[in-house]
């Protein structure tokens, strides 16, 4: 991966200084331009927000005055109708029609209900409501719950894009309790209500909206296509969510439901719970700053280019002596010109650098002469040393030849010693097998015959012979029996017969039982298929290794259990002996365990004699593990 720092170092000093200073100037100029444009935009945003705020305050106050005047008119009419509440419905209807013919601000009509919500009187515009119930209307429930006035949910009017708005006040009986509701309905498009708002335009893209958060509907808008459309859902417009949740009324920029970025303000109306919003597209609101920002950035670009050009010319003039010196050095280094001092053009940092180079040239000339002298002396010493090395090398080659001859003799002797060792082990086992057979065939049979003869002598002895003779014969027979058992044990130790007809696993199991009887140490023997036989010399070698290991274990290991495992076949055998004794450090001295060391050496020789590899694993307190591996 290329290091950017290394790449930068290959660029000329003039270019690096030019780029660095130009970058600083450009960053400063462009930063100033960006800061100026940002401040101007903030000021323009504040100014546009102030204009929208004035328009919004006027519209909100006008709408609130229109609603309050309607509530006051209904309150006055409710007071007039109070004497007729207990009269016949016809009398109440006459009074209501008479009031409607007067200057009441309800273009859609008036109606009265009883305490159950049934319409009992209505003016011509609402006569189709006579006998119907408005019990499920929100404003009816609010009035009957004790509200002084209520504004109903905006509903579609009879005309296209028209919105019907109902305002209600309570009708009270003599006790001052609500016994019915007086409702006045107006069209939102009435000029004295929301008609002027629907006709108002703010610039080319500005708009006004009156929304009912409780009903999640747009009541009126300067864009008539949005009247009675749902308000944006929660999360779509975070600024609108903040206005509804926190009551925020200040200026803010957001993206409206049509994907247009707009600057908006809002006002909340306490009398109706409505939200009045004024907005204008930021593209129109900030149009003056866009042109100004373009001019600022263009000026910054021109200034940057002029500064860079001036800086380039100044650097080229100031660094020209450095370039001349570098060219002279390059010619000297390539061999085009001899190494010589360079003329100093002026006494500044560049002149100081050239002066130091000239001093370096003079020093190099002195060093070159010194090196030539040293080379002559070195050549002389090398010649003398070379002659010494040649003489020593000849002696060393002669010594190496003698050592190779000695090593060859030693390797030949070691090979012959290994062959003789194998022959010795084989001869030893053959002799043990012969002695065991002789003890079993001759000595055991002779001792058996002697025992039989002693028995006959004891039976044929006269009854009146001395008791001393009888006792001696019995002792002799007991001694003879012990001798026969010892002969059998010696014969078995020399060469167990079970090894010949049963194999190494049965022989080890038999030896393990006898070993337990003598030492109390448990011996567990496991293996593969007992019917698979190994070569005779392999079986006897593994048997002797196990004997030696058990003997060492009884003498030194202080073990309770010994495990012997034999696995594999005629081509590959793994023979493992482990105990739970005290173990010892293989890397440390044996500390008086000379017999243990000789036993391990004997086991290793037996393993190598049958082509195997013996390995040991032990540590203090972790027992001993002996493994013999034969074959691949």
Mean pLDDT over the full length of the chain? 79
CA end-to-end span of the chain = 48
Q: What is the pLDDT of residue 457?
A: 67
Enumerate residues 6+ apart whose C-beta is below 8 A from 388: none
Main-chain dihedrals φ then ψ at residue 281, nearest 5 degrees = -65, 135
Residue pLDDT, tens place only, 205-254: 888 889 999 888 988 888 888 888 898 888 888 888 888 888 898 888 88
Do residue 524 and residue 461 come from a single domain? no
Contacts by 155-159 with C-beta closer than 8 Å and gap 24+? 156/228, 157/108, 157/187, 157/188, 159/187, 159/189
Q: What is the number of domains present in the chain?
A: 3
Do residue 410 and residue 455 come from a single domain? yes
Could you say which of 449, 472, 495 is where a domain stops? 495
Do residue 457 and residue 576 come from a single domain? no
Between these two residues, 11 and 499, which has the higher pLDDT value? Answer: 499
Between these two residues, 65 and 467, which has the higher pLDDT value? Answer: 65
Q: How far apart are CA 491 and CA 489, in angstroms?
A: 5
Mean pLDDT of 28-57: 76
pLDDT band at 96 (very low <50, low <70, confident <90, very high): confident
Q: How far apart are CA 167 and CA 186, in angstroms?
A: 8
Looking at residue 541, which CATH number applies to its domain?
Answer: 3.30.565.10
Closest CA to 186 of 169, 214, 162, 203: 162
Mean pLDDT of 36-50: 75
Do residue 440 and residue 527 come from a single domain? no
Looking at residue 90, which CATH number applies to its domain?
Answer: 3.30.450.20
Mean pLDDT lowest among 65-69, 91-95, 231-235, 239-243: 91-95
Do residue 449 and residue 422 come from a single domain? yes
Mean pLDDT of 616-630: 89
Q: What is the pLDDT of residue 333?
A: 75
| DSSP letter (8 states) at residue 346 | S
Q: What is the pLDDT of residue 524?
A: 92
Do residue 547 and residue 481 come from a single domain? no
Mean pLDDT of 327-351: 76
Mean pLDDT lowest among 379-393, 424-438, 525-539: 424-438
Asked whether 579 and 557 are in contact (CB, 8 A), the reply is yes
Instruction: Say yes or no to pLDDT of 578 above 80.
Output: yes
Instruction: Say yes or no to pLDDT of 275 above 60.
Output: yes
Residue-by-residue DSSP string for 454-469: HHHHHHHS-TTS-HHH
Mean pLDDT of 532-554: 85
**CA distances, 516 to each of 93, 322, 390, 402, 622 (Å):** 126, 99, 71, 56, 22
Beta bridge pairs of residue 220: 210
Asked whether 248 and 3 are in contact (CB, 8 A), the reply is no
Position 488 in a domain: yes
Position 293 in a domain: no
Q: What is the pLDDT of residue 591?
A: 43
Q: What is the pLDDT of residue 366?
A: 85
Do residue 542 and residue 400 come from a single domain? no
Q: What is the pLDDT of residue 298?
A: 82
Q: What is the pLDDT of residue 563?
A: 93
Mean pLDDT of 438-456: 59
Enumerate residues 6+ apart whose C-beta is below 8 A from 105: 66, 69, 70, 73, 184, 186, 190, 192, 193
Mean pLDDT of 282-305: 77
Identify the domain containing residue 624 by its residue range.
501-631
Mean pLDDT of 142-148: 90
Between these two residues, 550 and 327, which has the higher pLDDT value? Answer: 550
Instruction: Say yes or no to pLDDT of 296 above 90.
Output: no
Q: What is the pLDDT of residue 488?
A: 59
Do residue 433 and residue 486 come from a single domain? yes
pLDDT band at 408 (very low <50, low <70, confident <90, very high): confident
**CA distances, 452 to each of 91, 439, 445, 459, 489 (Å):** 156, 18, 11, 11, 21
Mean pLDDT lowest among 22-26, 439-443, 498-502, 511-515: 439-443
Asked whether 93 and 121 are in contact (CB, 8 A), the reply is yes
Could you say which of 445, 479, 495 is where a domain stops? 495
Position 292 in a domain: no
Mean pLDDT lowest among 38-47, 303-312, 578-587: 38-47
Q: What is the pLDDT of residue 342?
A: 78
Residue pLDDT, tens place only, 187-201: 888 888 888 877 777
Main-chain dihedrals φ then ψ at residue 391, nearest 5 degrees = -65, -45
pLDDT band at 593 (very low <50, low <70, confident <90, very high): very low
Q: What is the pLDDT of residue 129?
A: 85
Instruction: Say yes or no to pLDDT of 14 above 80.
Output: no
Position 19 in a domain: no
Position 323 in a domain: no
Instruction: Say yes or no to pLDDT of 139 above 80.
Output: yes
Position 318 in a domain: no
Do residue 445 and residue 526 come from a single domain? no
Q: How far apart are CA 226 and CA 161, in angstroms?
A: 9
Closest CA to 151 of 67, 93, 234: 67
Could you say which of 495, 517, 535 is where a domain stops? 495
Position 319 in a domain: no
Mean pLDDT of 400-421: 67
Residue-by-residue DSSP string for 254-292: EE-TTS-EEEEEEEE-TTT--EEEEEEEHHHHTHHHHHH
pLDDT band at 595 (very low <50, low <70, confident <90, very high): very low
Q: What percent of the chain has pLDDT over 90?
A: 9
**CA distances, 149 to each of 99, 105, 349, 419, 519 (Å):** 19, 16, 91, 125, 112
Do residue 85 and residue 189 come from a single domain? yes
Do residue 518 and residue 382 come from a single domain? no
**CA distances, 104 to each of 234, 582, 622 (Å):** 39, 116, 111
Mean pLDDT of 293-301: 78
Residue 93, H or E segment:
helix 89-101
Do residue 219 and residue 143 come from a single domain? yes
Position 33 in a domain: no
Q: How far apart are CA 448 and CA 440, in angstroms?
A: 11
Instruction: Say yes or no to pLDDT of 309 above 50.
Output: yes
Q: What is the pLDDT of residue 561?
A: 93
Q: How far apart are CA 424 and CA 229, in angstroms?
A: 113
């Amino acid at each position: 991966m290329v290091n950017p720092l290394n790449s930068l170092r290959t660029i000329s000093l003039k270019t690096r200084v030019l780029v660095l200073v130009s970058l600083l100037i450009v960053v400063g100029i462009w930063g100033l331009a960006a800061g100026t444009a940002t401040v101007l935009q903030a000021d323009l945003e504040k100014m546009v927000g102030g204009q929208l705020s004035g328009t919004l305050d006027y519209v909100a106050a006008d709408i609130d005055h229109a609603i309050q005047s309607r509530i006051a008119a209904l309150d006055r009419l409710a007071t007039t109708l109070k004497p007729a509440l207990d009269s016949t419905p016809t009398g109440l209807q006459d009074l209501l029609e008479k009031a409607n013919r007067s200057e009441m601000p309800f273009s859609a009509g008036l109606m009265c209900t009883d305490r159950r919500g049934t319409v009992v009187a209505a003016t011509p515009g609402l006569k189709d409501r006579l006998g119907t119930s408005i019990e499920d209307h929100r404003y009816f429930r609010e009035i009957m719950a004790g509200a002084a006035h209520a504004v109903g949910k905006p509903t579609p009017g009879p005309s296209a894009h028209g919105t019907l708005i109902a305002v209600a006040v309570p009708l009270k009986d003599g006790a001052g309790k609500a016994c019915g509701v007086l409702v006045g309905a107006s069209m939102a498009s009435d000029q004295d209500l929301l008609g002027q708002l629907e006709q108002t335009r703010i610039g080319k893209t500005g708009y006004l909206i009156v929304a009912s958060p409780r009903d999640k509907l747009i009541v009126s808008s300067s864009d008539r296509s949005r009247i009675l459309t749902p308000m944006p859902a929660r999360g779509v417009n975070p600024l609108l969510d903040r206005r509804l949740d926190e009551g925020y009324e200040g200026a803010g920029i957001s993206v409206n439901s049509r994907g247009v970025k707009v600057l908006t303000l809002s006002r909340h109306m306490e009398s109706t719970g409505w939200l009045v919003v004024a907005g204008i597209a930021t593209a129109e609101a900030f149009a003056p700053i866009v042109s100004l920002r373009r001019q600022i950035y263009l000026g910054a670009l021109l200034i940057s280019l002029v500064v860079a050009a001036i800086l380039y010319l100044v650097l080229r003039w100031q660094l020209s002596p450095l370039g001349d010196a570098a060219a002279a050095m390059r010619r000297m280094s390539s061999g085009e010109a001899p190494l010589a001092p360079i003329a100093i053009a002026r006494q500044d940092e560049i002149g100081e650098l050239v002066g130091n180079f000239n001093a370096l040239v003079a020093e190099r000339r002195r060093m070159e002469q010194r090196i030539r002298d040293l080379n002559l002396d070195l050549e002389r010493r090398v010649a003398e040393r070379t002659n010494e090395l040649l003489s020593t090398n000849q002696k060393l080659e002669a010594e190496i030849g003698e050592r190779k001859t000695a090593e060859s003799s030693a390797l030949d002797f070691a090979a012959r010693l290994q062959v003789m060792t194998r022959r010795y082990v084989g001869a030893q086992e053959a002799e043990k097998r012969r002695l065991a057979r002789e003890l079993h065939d001759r000595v055991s049979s002779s001792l058996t015959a002697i025992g039989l003869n002693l028995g006959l002598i004891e039976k044929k002895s006269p009854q009146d012979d001395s008791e001393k003779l009888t006792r001696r014969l019995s002792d002799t027979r007991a001694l003879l029996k012990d001798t026969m058992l010892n002969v059998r044990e010696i014969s078995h130790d020399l060469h167990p017969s079970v090894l010949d007809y049963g194999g190494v696993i049965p022989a080890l199991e038999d030896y393990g039982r006898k070993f337990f009887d003598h030492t109390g140490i448990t011996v567990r023997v496991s293996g593969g298929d007992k019917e698979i036989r190994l070569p005779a010399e392999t079986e006897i070698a593994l048997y002797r290794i196990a004997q030696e290991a058990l003997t060492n274990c009884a003498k030194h290991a202080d073990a309770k259990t010994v495990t012997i495992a034999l696995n594999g076949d005629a081509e590959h055998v793994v023979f493992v002996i482990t105990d739970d004794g005290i173990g010892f450090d293989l890397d440390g001295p044996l500390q008086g365990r000379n017999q243990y060391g000789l036993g391990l050496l004997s086991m290793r020789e037996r393993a190598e004699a049958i082509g195997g590899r013996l390995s040991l694993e032990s540590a203090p307190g972790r027992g001993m593990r002996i493994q013999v591996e034969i074959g691949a």
